[in-house]
């Protein structure tokens, strides 16, 4: 039997983006492209880019601070900080740096990597700690600084990505607001989207070789990723809704990873969800990877569009390949 107070409520949100904006017209001065070409293929008009002094930890902590305040908590109330990111400041992990910046002295902190699916995977992971009765107050942050790893001479990829952070607070509740979820992975399609390490052979001794190198810029097979998303995302959403015992018509908002407006439109069409129920802000920020879902959610919450009790189905999809969906009610404890 479930313990009393081990349901999940999502009680606060926050976001942070760098001040520097790169428009499509600006990009056209770097590569052979145009505003019309980018908008027609992606729906993106501009993206935010972190300057060298803007670390992932700074953006993540700023978003987290807003979410904590909205939830009516203090950083010292947190039991766990979970940072979903593929672009840490330190390969050993950045969540502990965020913990220190927030002054969350009671919280354990660790990173989770699932690329653009990271926030949804993180949401489900965080929920298990609450459902088990282990923790009561969790800060989940999705943050990425993909501009560090973009090939700015490749117009197929450099037009897509931006930097940012988004966060939510999950709290233990007598009623469970995470209504259903479904997670998936398929490593056979890993080559479709990569930020890969490339070793270079180095001899230490005559019979001892090691590989030392660095990570290479993002590579992507855009057509395959598009086909994958349009085929798999509606299916995983339907499975999450089935687990929640809900129909598509009972959902107030569709909140997809902000990858490409054509993907958002195609998924909504497949599910027969009207455009007015689809949350989209990628025109302003581009693809911010693990940050995109919580960043878009926070904007709608602060504008009053998403209201307490609204039912949201969120789906992330991307490198791995990974994808998943979660159905939750916003803002009621």
Active-site residue numbers?
A: 116, 257, 287
* DSSP state string for 162-187: -EEEEEEEEEEESS--EEEEEEEE-G
d(CA 197, CA 175) in angstroms, rounded, equals 44
Alpha-carbon span 165 to 143, nearest angstrom? 4
Distance of CA 196 to the CA centre of its chain: 19
Could you give the maximum distance between any two Cα atoms of the chain, in Å?
67
Phi/psi of residue 108, nearest 5 degrees: -80, 150
Three-state secondary-structure class, residue 221: coil
Q: Compute φ and ψ for 35, nearest 5 degrees.
A: -60, -45
What is the phi-psi region of residue 179: left when phi exceeds 0, alpha when psi lies from -120 to 50, beta otherwise? Answer: alpha
Comparing CA positions, the residue from 216, 217, 161, 218 lying closest to residue 192 is 218
Residue 172 main-chain phi, psi, to 5 deg = -65, 140
């Amino acid at each position: 039997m479930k313990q009393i107070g081990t349901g999940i409520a999502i009680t606060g949100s926050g976001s942070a983006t760098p001040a520097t904006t790169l428009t499509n017209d600006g990009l056209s001065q770097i590569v052979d492209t145009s505003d019309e070409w980018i908008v027609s293929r992606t729906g993106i008009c501009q993206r935010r880019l972190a300057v060298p002094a803007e670390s992932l930890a700074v953006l993540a902590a700023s978003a987290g601070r807003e979410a904590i305040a909205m939830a009516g908590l203090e950083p010292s109330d947190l039991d766990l900080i979970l940072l979903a990111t593929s672009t840490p400041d330190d390969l050993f992990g950045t969540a502990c740096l965020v913990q220190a910046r927030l002054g969350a002295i009671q919280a354990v902190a660790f990173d989770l990597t699932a690329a653009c699916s990271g926030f949804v995977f993180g949401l489900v992971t965080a929920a298990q700690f609450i459902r088990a009765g282990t923790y009561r107050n969790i800060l989940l942050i999705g943050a990425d600084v993909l501009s560090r790893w973009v090939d700015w001479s490749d117009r197929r990829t450099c037009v897509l990505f931006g930097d940012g952070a988004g966060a939510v607070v999950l709290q233990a509740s007598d009623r469970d607001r995470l209504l259903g979820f479904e997670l998936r992975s398929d490593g056979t399609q890993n080559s479709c989207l990569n930020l890969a390490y490339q070793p270079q052979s180095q001899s230490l001794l005559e019979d001892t070789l090691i590989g030392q190198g660095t990570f290479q810029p993002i590579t992507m097979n855009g057509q395959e990723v598009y086909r994958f998303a349009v085929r798999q995302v509606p299916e995983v959403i339907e499975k999450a809704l089935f687990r929640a015992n809900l129909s598509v018509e009972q959902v107030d908002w569709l909140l997809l990873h902000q990858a490409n407006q054509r993907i958002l439109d195609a998924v909504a069409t497949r599910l027969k969800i009207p455009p007015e129920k689809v949350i989209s802000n990628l025109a302003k920020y581009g693809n911010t990877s693990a940050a995109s879902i919580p960043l878009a959610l926070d904007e709608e919450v602060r504008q009053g569009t998403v209201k307490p009790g609204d039912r949201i189905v969120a789906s992330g999809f991307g490198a791995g390949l990974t994808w998943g969906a979660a159905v939750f009610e916003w803002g009621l404890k």
